[in-house]
Structure 1
Amino acid sequence: MSLSEFKQKYIDFKLVLLLAGFYLMFDLVLLAKVMYMRNYMPQREYFSWSDFLIHNLLFDYIIVVSYMTLIAISTKRFLNKNYSWVKIISIHTLFSLLIGLIIRLIFDFYSIIAGRIDLADFDLRKSINAFIYVLDLNFLIYFAMIFIIYTYYYLKQVKEAEKRHSKLESQLVNTRMKMLSSQLQPHFLFNTLNSIAVLTDMDTKKAKDTIADLSDFLREILYNSDRNRISLDEELRILEYYLNIVNVRFSDHLTIEKKVPEDLMLKKIPAMLLQPVIENSIKHGYSYENTDLKILVSVYEEGKMLVIKVENDGTPVTESHTELMKKGVGLKNINDRLRNLYKDNYYFEIRNKEDNTGVETVIKIPE
């Protein structure tokens, strides 16, 4: 990982500024306290404002802000790795003790290097006493800043979740409306209604079933499936309306098989995921050389991922997956929804089969 990638992934400069601002407020309060004590509570020991401002406040400020920046980076890594709260609290308790020790060691080392104290005159006991004297204060300051860090990350995650949820809802509505738009194109309605008209004389029951399928399918697109994720069996039920209509149109030239184990039927998948994938498979599968098309929809588990595969024996694609994404609005919408639902934890690709006997669309999502 490069330095720029590390900064982008783990360092949030807004959070660093927030921590720096908080500790600046603490130092201002401390400064006001010292000013009051020097004026109204005279002390006998020697006191130098320059030493206090430069060697105490400024020196301490730089060390604490730098230390807490490292803690903020570590905290984000803890959150990404899903450590238990017991482990996280234990680690932060140790770090809260270390901050005072580190400040003391750096301050003593600086004082020796700068010649403020002689190495021979260095009193280890006095240094330890100074560390113990502010131990409780350092502990409280540390956890106050940790509270800021966790609150910041929590609010950021809430905002991102709300943004993703809003975007998903918008994408779901767009998906439904694009599906409706594509299905309501004149040639679709003409072919479907023409098939119904023919069936009216030949098979009245099938004509009525086709009308019912068309009605149910449009109703599902318009009014139902408002959830971003639905169970697999519900998705297949909605898909069946579409497949019934398609089968009427293509008659014996189209065969669609489903290979879905019963124990996976309650698994959650993005709503209205299969229909645009199958529609794309039908649209690009037929050609002058391929007038008959067979489509297989299969769902299975692969480790902790649920794999959804739609494959056909039609015309191979001549474009890459990236090029297909740019051309197909429906496919791009699927990819955007998957990214918002699962971030980078998903797989989506359209490719030719290894034996070049057709095309397969593979989607892998967390269970």
Structure 2
Amino acid sequence: MKIKRFIDFKLVLLLAGFYGLFNLVYILKTFYMLRHFPQMKMMSWYDFLVFNIFIDWLVVVFYMTIIAISTKRFLNKNYSWVKIISIHVVFSILIGFIIRLFFDLFGILSGQFSLQDYQLEESFNRFVAVVDLNFLIYFAMTFIIYTYYYVRQVKEAEHHRAQLETQLVNTKMKMLSSQLQPHFLFNTLNSIAVLADIDKELAKDTIADLSDFLREILYSGEENEIPLEKELRTLEYYLNILNVRFSDHLIIRKEIDEGLLSRKVPALILQPLLENSIKHGYSYDHTDLVVVISVFAEGKYMVLKVENNGKDLTAPQEEIMEKGMGLSNIIARLHNLYGNDCSFIIRNKGQEAGVETVVRIPLR
């Protein structure tokens, strides 16, 4: 229901319960005072419970529900605390006027007194008599509202963080599983074996690159975002292995804005983009592949782009993701990290052959 977008019924019940508890204490206090001070005058218990308690409870809960909705908007718009407190001070005084106005109108409409008998000064005096109490009640309930929203945000943040950690672990495991598949290891080890006879130094370097690359995946920590410089260092180990394996059939170029090296990017994002571009770029008609990795700023965003001159896509992005091209986990991580303030596009380049994958994230 649309109403749930604006009203949190759990919070309304919490406010209603708090003010109900306050009224219960007030009823017990009144009962005590009447028992020990019989000379006190009071309306009938029916009128007291219905008009002074129940109707007052309804008015206050309704008013504080509106305040709860307004408070949520204040938090979403990041108003300054000075402005928020000033607004609540005004509202705390206004609640007394609203309660007094409601009871005066109700008294006139119900025939308790006529409009001619209505005395504005007496009504104002009644308002002033309880203005301090209304002030305290208002801010007590406002404190409940802010505490409720704060606790909920903390829980959502913890859930959000747990999701990100799980996705990062899944990404590492998928990458490790991908790289430990027999064809990868056999091809890499076979390349090393060939190099051992013709270029021992290059063979040693390839072994070191393979070791460093797998170590980065396994022991890179639990950070969901890392500096671009660190991400590129991990990617370099992978590129060195690819250059040995594919030799002259693969050219990889990097176009990196060095001013962005300290900026944060999702950990382990470039390698699966590159792997996907190579894996699906080769075909019988495209045996030589050129892949370009670009990182640049575009307004308030950082753009990560991996493009090739290989085989074009034959299906829309939604269908590609459903077939499991290893990118769905990246999209989920992006949305968990940046919400709707990011984008992921995989598409044909258009005027020339090839496919480009473009990721746009906020500059951090």
The match for 1:232 is 228
Determine if the alignment matches structure 1 residue 254 to structure 2 residue 263: no
- Distance in 1 between residues matched to 2:103 and 2:352, nearest whole Å: 70
Q: How many angstroms does 1:356 deviate by?
A: 5.4
Alpha-carbon RMSD across the aligned residues, in angstroms, is 1.5
The match for 1:58 is 54
Determine if the alignment matches structure 1 residue 179 to structure 2 residue 172: no
The match for 2:260 is 264
The match for 1:79 is 75
Query: Residues 66 and 317 from structure 1, CA distance in 2 versus in 1: closer, same or farther, beyond 3 angstroms?
Result: same
The match for 1:148 is 144
Amino acid at match of 1:69: T
Q: How many angstroms does 1:303 deviate by?
A: 2.4
Structure 1's unaligned 5+ residue stretches are: none
Amino acid at match of 2:106: Y
The match for 2:188 is 192
Post-superposition Cα deviations, 1:10-47, rounded to whole Å, max 9, x if no partner, equal: 32111111111111101111111111112212345451
Q: How many angstroms does 1:329 deviate by?
A: 6.4
Query: Residues 209 and 8 from structure 1, CA distance in 2 versus in 1: closer, same or farther, beyond 3 angstroms?
Result: farther
Q: How does 1:273-288 map to 2 (within 5 A)?
A: 273-288=269-284
User: Which region of structure 1 is more displaced relative to structure 2, 247-256 or 58-67?
Assistant: 247-256
Q: How many angstroms does 1:149 deviate by?
A: 0.9
With normalisation by structure 1, the TM-score equals: 0.95
Q: 1:99 touches 1:138 (CA, 8 Å); kept in 2?
A: yes
The match for 1:27 is 23
Determine if the alignment matches structure 1 residue 208 to structure 2 residue 192: no
With normalisation by structure 2, the TM-score equals: 0.96
The match for 1:336 is 332
Query: Residues 329 and 100 from structure 1, CA distance in 2 versus in 1: closer, same or farther, beyond 3 angstroms?
Result: farther
Determine if the alignment matches structure 1 residue 92 to structure 2 residue 80: no
Query: Residues 184 and 172 from structure 1, CA distance in 2 versus in 1: closer, same or farther, beyond 3 angstroms?
Result: same
Q: 1:10 touches 1:77 (CA, 8 Å); kept in 2?
A: no
- Distance in 2 between residues matched to 1:363 and 1:42, nearest whole Å: 78
Query: Residues 188 and 26 from structure 1, CA distance in 2 versus in 1: closer, same or farther, beyond 3 angstroms?
Result: same
The match for 2:119 is 123
User: Which region of structure 1 is more displaced relative to structure 2, 341-350 or 270-279?
Assistant: 341-350
Q: 1:351 touches 1:361 (CA, 8 Å); kept in 2?
A: yes
- Distance in 2 between residues matched to 1:360 and 1:41, nearest whole Å: 85
The match for 2:314 is 318
Structure 2's unaligned 5+ residue stretches are: none
- Distance in 1 between residues matched to 2:227 and 2:135, nearest whole Å: 49
- Distance in 2 between residues matched to 1:272 and 1:112, nearest whole Å: 71
The match for 1:36 is 32
User: Which region of structure 1 is more displaced relative to structure 2, 355-364 or 248-257?
Assistant: 355-364
2:5 alignment partner, one of 3, 9, 29 = 9
% identical aligned pairs: 63
Q: How many angstroms does 1:214 deviate by?
A: 0.3
Determine if the alignment matches structure 1 residue 157 to structure 2 residue 153: yes
The match for 1:294 is 290
Amino acid at match of 1:106: F
- Distance in 2 between residues matched to 1:109 and 1:313, nearest whole Å: 78
Q: 1:316 touches 1:356 (CA, 8 Å); kept in 2?
A: no
- Distance in 1 between residues matched to 2:227 and 2:303, nearest whole Å: 14
